[in-house]
Amino acid sequence: MTVGGDEVADAFALQSRIAAAARGSGRPVIDAGRGQPNWTVTEPRAAFFRLGLFATQEAETYSTTDVWGEMPPVAGIHDRFLANLAEDVRTDLGTAFLRSAVEFAVGELGFDPDEWVHELVRSVLGFGYPSPNRMQPHLEKVAERYVLRFTGSPLDDDHRFDVFATEGGAAAMTYIFTTLQVNGIVGPGDAVAVATPTYTPYLQIPVLERIGFDVVEIKAVAHQPYRFDEGALDVLRDPRIKVFFLINPGNPDSRAVRPERLEELRGIIETDRPDLLVVNDTAYATFVENFHGVTAVIPRNVILLHSFSKGYAATGNRLGFVALHRDSVADRLLAGKSAEDKERMRARYQAASDDVEAMPFIQRLLADSRLVALHNIAGLATPDQVQMTLFELAYLMPEGAHYVEGARALLQARLDALYAGLGVAAPGGDDSHYYGMVDIMTVARTRHGEALVERIRTTMAPEEVALRLAADSGVIVQTGPSFQGDPWDIRLSLASITEDQAGQIAAAFVTLVDRLAEEMTPVREG
């Protein structure tokens, strides 16, 4: 199966029609289409701005002129930092969180206090290029600990990761597929497996270079507490499949892969496919309590990408990273390339390394992100790295638990309101609840029986239901085909609506189904 531009164009065109119908409904628009959280995270943001204030005060204090600031000395900066925070008349969110975050990293990660605070100050001021350009040293160590925590991976020598900070998850994904392709890890005639349903552009990424990748779908089970049937992953034993792309927890179905399926994946890799790479998008992982990720079971085979757009409501910040094991299978695949391939890679990367053959995949990833020639000025802006680190520390620190738990409870309440209003049971299972998947036919069957299901199926195109919902009630949703999913499914972003709006959407949906039942009931003569 190959997904091209026409399918993607059709999906976006339909979404535009749905939005236009909602705006033309004359009713207040409820946009449950795009996955934009309708909240913001305050404590780590306030801490970022408070750190910036301290950093600029330090730069001003140690300047030799009143024209500009200068970088303060390392020695004693931790004590000056604590003294500066103590001067606040009140302990606001930013001050309290920032102090706790800095001290937590000193205690838990063993950072030298002065070196740690100095790196934060340099980074938040944007003082100099990222150095190393992949990620600032202390900030990378925080990111590695964050990866281990949210994926449920043990803190041991078998789970050590290098991290490359990127401009969000989308940038990470494009960098990964570019580097896989230019290094010949995936080439013409090879296949890429994709867990579906998934966001349609992700299905298109493997064919963007027009080099003839096949895309093999591994379909999830719909509307069940689990995501994949036993044996569904067996297709990965095919040696033509070089990469398995998996969003876990998913989008749009939002379920996490169960531990028993992860163990199946481990078995496949250990017995048949030690060369298989798993590209794992983990943007929704922090919403699942006790999440158990792919890196916990096959750390060396995973190229993990992560975004803070969802978990920390940072869609506008464009913050994310790629993490690879320090003994990655990707590096072993590079080492096994032919002499001809290695010479081709030497020519490509010689500007970035004196020893290209020893250059790991993650460094090639970084070089490719700036077309190699500009590798020396690659890397995410250092102030952005600081904000990302504060988000990570919010997750790691005990003080951050109230946000994580509160966000989960908020989404659960919205999910409950939606399904209670629909009169059908929620699928259950280990779910992020970031999205709600509704089967049109299940609601129709529950309210009016199988006869209505057949009438809808034979007289309406699936997208007509979403268009009618928009035109009648001002509700914007996305349809199953937008994700290579069931045509009668619709997806709602629970993160984008309130609990009350979830109930309103359910009522609008029920009203539409009842109207369809009335309109489609045959008129009896006589």
Q: Is the pLDDT of residue 403 over 90?
A: yes
Question: Of the candidates 339, 374, 409, which is a domain's last residue?
Answer: 374
Rounded (10°) CA dihedral 171, 304, 108, 104? 30
What's the average model confidence in pLDDT over 151-160?
92
Q: Give residue 377's Cα distance to chain centre.
A: 25
Residues 6+ apart with CB under 8 A from 27: 473, 474
CATH of the domain at 262: 3.40.640.10
CATH of the domain at 72: 1.10.20.110
Q: Sign of dihedral through CA atoms 188, 192, 196, 200? A: negative
Give CA angle at 196 (195, 202), nearest 5°: 80
Same-domain check for residues 405 and 274 = no
Same-domain check for residues 483 and 428 = yes
Residue 399 confidence (pLDDT): 84
Residue 205 confidence (pLDDT): 65
Q: Is residue 169 part of a domain?
A: yes
Q: Is residue 351 part of a domain?
A: yes
C-alpha distances (whole Å) from 407 to each of 285, 432, 461 are: 12, 10, 36
Residue 10 confidence (pLDDT): 74
Q: Is residue 60 part of a domain?
A: yes
Check residues 186 and 201 and name the one with the higher pLDDT: 186
Same-domain check for residues 14 and 48 = no
What's the average model confidence in pLDDT over 186-193?
88
Same-domain check for residues 117 and 230 = no
SS3 352: coil
Whether residue 197 is preceded by a cis peptide bond, meaning omega within 30 degrees of 0, is yes
Q: Residues 265, 233: contact at Cβ < 8 Å? A: yes
Residue 1 confidence (pLDDT): 47
Whether residue 132 is preceded by a cis peptide bond, meaning omega within 30 degrees of 0, is yes
Cβ neighbour number for residue 59 with a 10 Å cutoff:
18
Q: Which of 14, 331, 347 is nearest to 200 (CA)?
A: 14
Give the residues across from 279 on adjacent strands: 245, 303
SS3 316: coil
Q: Is residue 209 part of a domain?
A: yes
Residue with tokens 């409501």: 313
pLDDT in tens, 330-374: 999 999 999 999 999 999 999 999 999 999 999 999 999 999 988
Q: Is residue 103 part of a domain?
A: yes
What's the average model confidence in pLDDT over 219-225?
90
Give the residues across from 476 on adjacent strands: 31
Whether residue 252 is preceded by a cis peptide bond, meaning omega within 30 degrees of 0, is yes
Same-domain check for residues 446 and 408 = yes
Domain that holds residue 319: 158-374
Stated pTM of the model: 0.94
Same-domain check for residues 192 and 255 = yes
C-alpha distances (whole Å) from 498 to each of 30, 145, 510 are: 10, 33, 18
Q: Is the pLDDT of residue 209 over 60?
A: no
Q: Is residue 383 part of a domain?
A: no
Beta strand 30-31 with 241-247: parallel, antiparallel or unpaired?
A: unpaired
Q: Is residue 146 part of a domain?
A: no
C-alpha distances (whole Å) from 317 to each of 24, 102, 304, 391, 396 are: 32, 22, 20, 12, 20
Residue 267 confidence (pLDDT): 97
Residue 201 confidence (pLDDT): 67
Residues 6+ apart with CB under 8 A from 348: 182, 356, 372
Same-domain check for residues 411 and 329 = no
33 DSSP assignment:
S
Q: Is residue 140 part of a domain?
A: no
423 DSSP assignment:
T
Whether residue 73 is preceded by a cis peptide bond, meaning omega within 30 degrees of 0, is no
pLDDT in tens, 102-142: 999 999 999 999 999 999 999 999 999 999 999 999 999 99
Residues 6+ apart with CB under 8 A from 396: 104, 108, 142, 145, 146, 149
What's the average model confidence in pLDDT over 470-480?
93
| Lowest-confidence segment of 23-32, 198-207, 238-247 by average pLDDT | 198-207
Give CA angle at 421 (447, 24), nearest 5°: 95
Q: Is the pLDDT of residue 383 over 80?
A: yes
Beta strands in 317-366 (DSSP E): 320-325
Q: Over pLDDT 70: what percentage of the chain?
A: 94
Give 526's pLDDT tier (boundaries 50, 70, 90).
very low
Residue 468 confidence (pLDDT): 95
Give 212's pLDDT tier (boundaries 50, 70, 90).
low
C-alpha distances (whole Å) from 439 to each of 4, 21, 486, 505 are: 26, 21, 9, 14
Helix then strand then coil, % of the chain, to nearest 5: 50, 10, 35
Same-domain check for residues 22 and 58 = no
What's the average model confidence in pLDDT over 192-199?
88
Beta strand 475-476 with 302-307: parallel, antiparallel or unpaired?
A: unpaired
Q: Residues 181, 207: contact at Cβ < 8 Å? A: no
Same-domain check for residues 229 and 297 = yes
| Lowest-confidence segment of 113-117, 402-406, 478-482 by average pLDDT | 478-482
Same-domain check for residues 95 and 172 = no
Same-domain check for residues 359 and 405 = no
Beta strand 191-196 with 214-219: parallel, antiparallel or unpaired?
A: parallel
Mean residue pLDDT across the chain:
92
Categorise residue 220: left if φ over 0, alpha if ψ from -120 to 50, beta otherwise.
Answer: beta
Q: Is the pLDDT of residue 208 over 60?
A: no
Q: Residues 62, 75: contact at Cβ < 8 Å? A: no
Distance CA 360, CA 353 (A): 10
| Backbone φ, ψ for residue 112 (5° rounding) | -65, 125
Q: Which of 428, 434, 452, 404 is nearest to 502 (CA)?
A: 434
Structural Rg of the chain based on CA atoms: 25
In the chain, the number of structural domains is: 3
Residue 66 confidence (pLDDT): 87
CATH of the domain at 438: 3.90.1150.10
pLDDT in tens, 158-182: 899 999 999 999 899 989 989 998 9
Q: In what order do the strands lie in the sheet with 478-479?
A: 435-439, 489-493, 478-479
Q: Over pLDDT 90: what percentage of the chain?
A: 79
Same-domain check for residues 59 and 21 = no
What's the average model confidence in pLDDT over 289-313?
96
Residues 6+ apart with CB under 8 A from 365: 164, 175, 176, 179, 322
